[in-house]
A and B are shown apart, each in its own frame.
Chain A
Amino acid sequence: MKKICLTVVGMYFMLLHAFSQVTRDSAAFKPRKLKLDEVNLVSSYYTQNGDHSAVRGGIGSEKVTDLANGVELKWVGWDAHQRKNTLTAGVGIDYHTAASQAYISKTGASRRKDGTRLYPSLDWTREDERKGTSFSLGAYYSNEFNYQSLGFSAGGTKKTKTNGEFGLKLSGYFDKVKLIFPSEFEPAYPSGGGGSGGGRENEHPNYGSSPRETYTASFSFTQVINTRLQAAFLFDLVEQHGYLGLPFHRVYFNDATDLVEKLPSNRFKLPLGVRLNYFLGDKVILRSYYRYYVDNWGIRSHTASLEVPVKLTPFFSVTPFYRYYTQSAANYFAAYQQHKTTDLYYTSNYALSAFNSHFFGAGIRMAPPKGLFNSHLSSLELRFGHYTQTTDLVSNVISLHMQFK
């Protein structure tokens, strides 16, 4: 009898507890002003070496180092209609050195061997959880010595009743390429505009520039398939027009003369991607990705990657990864002194050649529930990757991401 009484009392308290569950009803809801919610710091160091510099027409050192640092601040708030507003402001700064820059001067005497790129961005997202929709606007700017870019985007998402979500994002980038030609092709300077023999990039009074525009429609569909598997289908339509080469890339023809690379003024790209993530058991995750790419310059490519995060504890994981990439050459590519002078378009930029590449490495991630060292540092990721191309280009990249909450 005592047991029955205790059971009934226990059930009563369980019911009380169930009814005391907090629900967000609209009467109790109070809007909240935007409040700093998250800070992300990302740093990377990249080194590269190879022997097919586009500046020298497909020969010469491709040695590059790049130190990239970025900070992103995210504010979150709720308005009177219970919509979540997220404002994200970011700024990045890259410092790079490139051996090939010296050869903008034909003799290798160009003084500018490094550069800095600054790129702020601003994004705003409004999410209506009750309707399962979101709307976002973004702006982006990038500035470096020879290149400026201004970008805008607008997008939206809509959740389905079956754990899916459709997304559409439209972007436009309006770029300016500064016309820094190899020294032998520099236009005549007005008197006092600089010395001779190249290497005048710092003092040239008035470089011209040429526009480049990129318009993108990005479609996505994500779907939960079961309690362990989810997928994303990604599809971009990209249209570019304007000056799509770089003015300091040389091409040497089979008669040993040289010119600046010449590429068509429009390019249409069609990448299609699928991502499948599967939680295997309790400790292993399989993150897979495949992309097929085709463009109207003749490039076809396949990309496949697999990452396997292994959770050594619920808050510490190690992630080995591997990525394979293969592409065919653009119709306009030929190696050093392989182009004919009768070719309409020509480039010796090996990014447009036929090659395969392998990228592999590992990362670690720590995200204890109370933060690392009991601080606001909520997660830390460190990742190293080694990249090789069959063009003999080799690079290494190490990245660090710290998230503060």
Chain B
Amino acid sequence: MKRTILFFAVVLCASGMATSCTPVKEYQKNRLNDAEMSLSSRKVEKNESNFQSYREGASGANGGKTGGGCGCN
């Protein structure tokens, strides 16, 4: 329970940080638009995420698929 509260505290702090962010113009986004800065999972990681979801109890919150799939052994 303490960990859950801690997590939500971190998320709230991060949200606060996000709302107090610096205004960034389109022409200032050259670094943010770099392919390596993408906030979504990359295609090359797709099968890594798949095997992790089959071999571990947790999954989700990574922008990927959350169901369907594999009758794994």
Contact = CB atoms under 8 A, between A and B. Distances in A.
Contacts of B24: 163, 224, 226-227
Contacts of B35: 365, 367, 379
A235 B39 CA distance: 14
Contacts of A145: 71
A273 B48 CA distance: 17
A233 B56 contact: no
B47 A151 contact: no
A338 to B, nearest CB: 18
**What is the interface of chain A mostly: helix, strand, loop, or mixed?**
strand
Interface string B28-45: 110110111111101111
A397 B51 contact: yes
A341 interface: no
B18 A401 contact: no
Interface string B1-34: 0011001001100110111011110001101101
A98 B55 CA distance: 14
Contacts of B70: 117, 142, 144, 147
B32 A317 contact: no
Interface string A168-195: 0001110101100000000000000000
A231 B29 contact: no
Q: Which of B4, B18, B38, B68 has the most CB of A within 10 A?
A: B68
A287 interface: yes
A42 interface: yes
A359 interface: yes
Contacts of B63: 218, 220, 232, 234
B21 A225 contact: yes
Interface stretch (A2-10, A77-85, A250-258, A299-307): A299-307
A235 B61 contact: yes
Nearest to B39: A232
A49 interface: no
Given A42-B44, A223-B18, A401-B44, A327 B58 contact: yes
B66 A277 contact: no
A289 interface: yes
A171 B57 contact: no
Contact of B11 (A46, A98, A163, A274): A274
A383 B45 contact: yes
Interface residues of B, number: 54
A399 B71 contact: no
A209 B60 CA distance: 26
B30 to A, nearest CB: 8
B60 A359 contact: no
Contacts of A48: 51, 55
Nearest to A385: B48
A133 interface: no
A122 interface: no
A335 interface: no
Contact of A44 (B11, B47, B61): B47
B44 to A, nearest CB: 4
Nearest to A333: B57
A201 interface: no
A175 B54 CA distance: 16
Interface string A264-290: 000001011111110100000101010
A393 interface: yes
What are the 8 tightest A-B residue pairs by CB atom distance, in nearest-first order?
A214-B67, A147-B71, A273-B61, A173-B67, A271-B61, A293-B58, A271-B60, A149-B68
Given A162-B19, A272-B11, A291-B62, 10 more contacts: A44-B47, A144-B71, A147-B69, A163-B21, A228-B31, A234-B63, A273-B62, A317-B36, A381-B42, A383-B48
5 contacts: A171-B67, A228-B31, A285-B36, A400-B44, A401-B42
Interface of A: 40, 42, 44, 46, 48, 53-55, 64, 66, 68, 70, 72, 98, 100-101, 117, 140, 142, 144-147, 149-151, 162-164, 171-173, 175, 177-178, 214, 216, 218, 220-228, 230-236, 238, 240, 246, 248, 269, 271-277, 279, 285, 287, 289, 291-295, 297, 299-303, 309, 311, 317, 319, 325, 327, 330, 351-352, 357, 359, 363, 365, 367, 379, 381-383, 385, 387, 389, 393, 395, 397, 399-401, 403
